[in-house]
Structures are given as structure tokens and as C-alpha cells.
């Protein structure tokens, strides 16, 4: 006879362990072979969660890491699959290939976000949203800010001569 220990409780037979945990004896045999006796009868199926190391901190599972970092679990899984789990805590990188150059008067900006920053808007997406909405009032604000910036630059050029 083979004794089976499940979560600290020792059973004389596989059948007794199965009956006590409400599962079929084959489930106990399979769990013993896989090394997952601690999960017998709990209803948890699938692969054992593996620890994830992100930014020097080790989390017990991807779910725990996602909860601690406040990001979706799928993002953690994707980063681990790509071999770069630290990317989830790094700031997003600027992607110049997706940016659209914007010209207002004599001013030219490499992107709409750069235009919003240079024009002094608190929201970096203001110019993008103004263009998307087609709001006349928003465009007036953008043009006024562009005119102020042009005047400041002209004043600086005049002062440096």
C-alpha cells in the first residue's frame, strides 16, 4: 500500500485520499505523477503558475505581478514570451515612424505631441484630439499658441542680434 499526503493530511490509500477530496482515484495518481498533490480537490486546473521576475522583484505568478503593477495579465505574459519582462515597467518609447509631422505657419513640429508640448498645452494629446474633433475653438487655441511661440522666437532672434 502507498500512503498519500495531500496538504498535510496523510491517507493510507489512494482511494481514501480520492474519497476525502471528492475526486476520482485516477486524479490522485495523475497529481502524484505530476507533483501537484497539493491541488487535488481544489478545482484548480492547468499548469502550475511560475514565478516572474520584473525589475529585480520576484512575483509568485504573472497574476500577482499584474495586480502589483496595475497592468493587464496578458501584458505580463506577452513580455515574458518575448523574453523581456522588464519592459512592462519601462516608460514607453517614442516611435518616430508613427508620428506625423505638423506645420503651423512657419513652425514645424516632428509630431502632434511635440507640437502640444512646444505650444504649452498641459495635455500632450491636445493637438491630436483637436485635429480629430475638428473643433473650431480648439484650432483657434492652437493657432493663438503658435502665434505666441512665433513672436517669442522672433523676439529672441531680435535680442541676440
73-99 pLDDT per residue, tens = 999 999 999 999 999 998 877 667 778
Please give the angle made by the CA atoms of 103, 107 and 111, to the nearest 5 degrees. Answer: 50
pTM above 0.85, yes or no: no
How far apart are alpha carbons 6 and 75 in whole angstroms?
A: 34
Helices 126-133 and 136-160 pack at an angle, to 10 degrees, of 140
Q: Note whether 23 and 9 are within 8 A (CB).
A: no
What residue ranges in 82-133 does DSSP mark as E strands?
102-104, 107-109
Residue pair 37/46 in contact (Cβ under 8 Å)? The answer is no
Q: What is the pLDDT of residue 1?
A: 61
| pLDDT-flagged residues of the chain (< 50) | none
Nearest 5°: CA angle at 94, between 153 and 58? 135
DSSP state of 56: T
pLDDT of residue 60: 92
**Do 161 and 136 contact (CB within 8 A), yes or no?**
no
- SS3 label, residue 8: coil
The residues, ordered by sequence, that sit 6+ positions from 78 with a Cβ below 8 Å of its Cβ are none
What is the C-alpha to C-alpha distance for residues 17 and 11, in angstroms, rounded to an integer? 6
Amino acid at each position: 500500500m502507498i500512503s498519500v499526503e495531500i496538504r498535510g493530511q496523510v491517507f493510507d490509500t489512494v482511494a481514501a485520499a480520492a474519497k476525502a477530496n471528492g475526486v476520482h482515484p485516477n486524479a490522485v495518481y495523475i497529481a502524484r505523477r505530476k507533483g501537484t498533490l497539493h491541488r487535488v480537490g481544489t478545482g484548480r486546473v492547468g499548469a502550475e503558475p511560475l514565478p516572474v521576475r520584473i525589475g529585480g522583484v520576484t512575483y509568485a505568478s504573472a497574476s500577482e505581478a499584474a495586480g502589483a503593477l496595475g497592468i493587464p495579465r496578458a501584458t505580463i505574459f506577452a513580455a515574458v514570451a518575448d523574453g523581456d519582462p522588464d519592459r512592462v515597467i519601462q516608460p514607453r518609447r517614442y516611435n518616430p515612424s508613427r508620428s506625423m509631422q505638423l506645420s503651423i505657419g512657419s513652425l514645424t513640429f516632428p509630431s502632434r505631441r511635440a507640437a502640444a508640448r512646444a505650444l504649452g498645452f498641459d495635455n500632450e494629446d491636445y493637438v491630436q484630439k483637436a485635429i480629430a474633433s475638428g473643433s473650431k475653438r480648439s484650432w483657434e487655441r492652437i493657432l493663438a499658441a503658435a502665434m505666441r511661440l512665433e513672436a517669442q522666437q522672433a523676439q529672441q532672434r531680435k535680442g541676440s542680434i
